[in-house]
Structure 1
Amino acid sequence: MRADTRRRLAAALALFAAALCGSRAEVIDDVLGSVSRGVSFLERQHEHINLDGAVGFVMLQAELKEAVRTWPHTDPLSWAQRTTAVALLKRLDQSLEKAVAALQENDPKYYWEFEPLLSWTFWMVPQEWRATDPSLVYSSTLTTECYDEQLSDKCLTLLLGTWKMNGTPCIVTRPCRDTMTRFGCPHYSLSHQLLYFMIGKMRGCSDLLKGDTRASRANMTEQNYQRIFCSNMMKTNQDIIRDGLTEQTLDIFIENILICGLAGFSDFLKADWLQHILRLQDEEVGCFGRDKSIISQIIGDELLEQLQPHRRVKRREKILPDGCSSHMTAVAVGALGGYLNFYLAEQDITKRPLT
């Protein structure tokens, strides 16, 4: 009787494992299909993508290269999916080369300031996973952003060494340090505080907190800040889901998934959040955040922009002629790359979340 029970249990476990693998394979198929449509969009719109848009696709490029490199050779279906990813990567490489060349021509100053971010080798893909901590959520949060895009850009160029020709990298001014370590910031200020620390690490800056003499921050590390920021970004996303996704909250919701996922926080890569992202994709053109009602208005704006060739392209957002959001498309495809690597890493016990 006991032997029979063991056989039944083993059979049930085998069926469960097969179902789990089948389910994971289906999700990977969905992700690859969505990424393929996103790459098709880039192939058509590479001349119009702004800097943020290009960076999002470069993050995807880094994620895809890592996925192809580490893809588990477990069965013919998995290997067929890898073949699909390899073909996708080839298309992405070609389209990004054109997009980056267009950026360099259309906005050379801005291009040179952020040129390091436009190489896939800059971006580090997580090799292990961790989780956020609800106890680190702020007791109160500011209702307005802590700083503007100009300050964020300045602090990032000081890290990158692109603040002038042959500039010294890893410069941390007191205003930058104080701003990027300020607690209670919401939304994009919060996500860019995290991005600041991530970019510093990837640039090889060894001590972003040097010179911080505040007693209350004496034992804080860069890892501590990353966990605090992502724990609060998790709370933001949970609140957004609780209140219902809106046009105003979609972009920051996906950006938080992208950046904290890239920082290695696996609890952002939730299956139901993935479905939200997949549903946002426009089936016709492959972008995310498309507003068909303003296409005619945007076409008019694009014509005006062509008559003003020296007008600076705003980094954070650009609505393209087909009504697509450059920024939302960028963060969405980047997030999808994160999901792909996470699902592949789940098959490797050494990369499962740390408890």
Structure 2
Amino acid sequence: MPRFVLLFSVGLCLILIFGGKSEKIEFRAITFIRNGLEETLDYIRTNTYRSNVDCAFGVALVKALIKTSYKNGTHVMDNSSLRILEKCKNIIKESSLIFENSRRNGNNWKFKNLVDTNIWNKPIDYHKHELLPQWIHSENVIFELYHKLGNQKIHNSDVCLHEIINSTRNYQRHKVPCIVSIACWNTFFRNGEGHGYYLTHKLLLLEVAKARGCIINEAFYDKQVTQICSSIMSEIVALKNYDKIHEYFDLFLEQVLLCGYEGFQEFIQSNWLFYVLKSQRPSGCFSDDLTDKKKSRLRRDLTYFEDGCNDHTTALGAAVLALYYNFVVNEENLPINYK
């Protein structure tokens, strides 16, 4: 079967820089972030044996983001931070007993190859990027795209994920070309187009490939990521304009986390941080839909608990808080833009 290798160069594109009013996240906000993060980790620990492997993956990202917050040596890790790392370590240890020998939905290979803090440790260079201009969709178009196009394609992402992992089995020794099938290339890597979870899965697959030592042309990677995060920002703006973010809260968290992890400072906003903290339940968990509407869920791999929260959104909430924690510790003097 013909295969593609992710080694490509790119041309120049027209750009549009989003503007906005500057504001700052005060360093003292880190107390609220840490408290919220600890409460979420406590909730996850209580429900570890009822959670999917995605939840353990989110905790691995939390651990990596906290650890890399202190790598530049400008701050000393305090007891609260050490306590967060210990909680992450315990959750991952307990999760290993559940998933390492579980073949259900590929839990064993996902846990072994993704729930690895070391591959997600990286210094994040936060700065404003030159986001590409995008169309702002109507409310009806957004609904159609999220519920039809996105759902039809994201279920194939596990196949492509498995191909990437198979190509990078020796990533700890040396980087290797990341070989994927034509179907995977056309669906997830050919361009940065898409909507909703389809877009975030495209970005996640790129990040997994890079984290596991896949050789990827940097210009190709930067172009894809910029196109994806530009589209994601336009969707967030549209959802905000139509007052719909609360109905797609799980997606919103996934978008902020993945683009923020790439250093897009546009996704680090103080009003978003406080929106996330405000949306957290007293128990520390998060729900994917902040409304009281009964509607079909956008994702099939969530475990819902009695309180209305679920494992996927709760883990995303923890990871987003850890992302903001990472930013505040390392970039406390940078302005936070875009209301």
**TM-score if structure 1 supplies the norm length?**
0.73
> Quick one: structure 1 residues 189 and 109, their matched pair in 2 at CA, closer, same or farther if it must change by over 3 Å?
closer
Distance in 2, Cα, partners of 1:60 & 1:271: 19
Q: Which runs of 5+ in 1 are unaligned?
A: 1-19, 74-78, 210-219, 295-313
- Quick one: percent identity of the two aligned structures? 22
Distance in 2, Cα, partners of 1:228 & 1:160: 24
Structure number with the higher helix fraction is 1
Answering whether residue 186 of structure 2 is matched by residue 178 of structure 1, we say yes
> Quick one: structure 1 residues 280 and 205, their matched pair in 2 at CA, closer, same or farther if it must change by over 3 Å?
same
The Cα of 1:339 is off from its aligned counterpart by 0.6
> Quick one: structure 1 residues 183 and 170, their matched pair in 2 at CA, closer, same or farther if it must change by over 3 Å?
closer
Answering whether residue 294 of structure 2 is matched by residue 286 of structure 1, we say no
Deviations 1:155-208 (A, max 9, x none): 0110011899xxx98221121111113454100000111111111111111137
Distance in 2, Cα, partners of 1:327 & 1:72: 33
Distance in 2, Cα, partners of 1:169 & 1:328: 33
Aligned partner of 1:207 among 202, 210, 216: 216
2:202 is aligned to 193
The Cα of 1:320 is off from its aligned counterpart by 2.4
Distance in 2, Cα, partners of 1:293 & 1:237: 17
Distance in 1, Cα, partners of 2:44 & 2:310: 12
Matched-pair contact (CA < 8 Å) for 2:33–2:325: yes
The Cα of 1:337 is off from its aligned counterpart by 0.9
Answering whether residue 335 of structure 2 is matched by residue 327 of structure 1, we say no
2:271 is aligned to 272
> Quick one: structure 1 residues 150 and 46, their matched pair in 2 at CA, closer, same or farther if it must change by over 3 Å?
same
Deviations 1:5-45 (A, max 9, x none): xxxxxxxxxxxxxxx99x62321001000001011112211
Deviations 1:108-156 (A, max 9, x none): 5612331211111121434312334343425878823254343110001
Give 2:328's aligned amino acid: Y
Distance in 1, Cα, partners of 2:210 & 2:54: 20
Secondary structure, counterpart of 1:160 in structure 2 = helix
1:100 is aligned to 96
Give 1:159's aligned amino acid: I
Aligned length: 295
**TM-score if structure 2 supplies the norm length?**
0.76
Structure number with the bigger relative contact order (C-alpha 8 A, sep ≥ 6) is: 2
Matched-pair contact (CA < 8 Å) for 1:282–1:288: yes
What RMSD over aligned residues (CA atoms) do the two structures have, in Å?
Answer: 3.5
The Cα of 1:232 is off from its aligned counterpart by 0.9
Structure with bigger gyration radius = 1
Aligned partner of 1:39 among 38, 41, 61: 41
Q: Which runs of 5+ in 2 are unaligned?
A: 1-22, 170-175, 293-298
1:250 is aligned to 249
2:114 is aligned to 117
Answering whether residue 61 of structure 2 is matched by residue 59 of structure 1, we say yes
Distance in 2, Cα, partners of 1:236 & 1:159: 28
Secondary structure, counterpart of 2:86 in structure 1 = helix
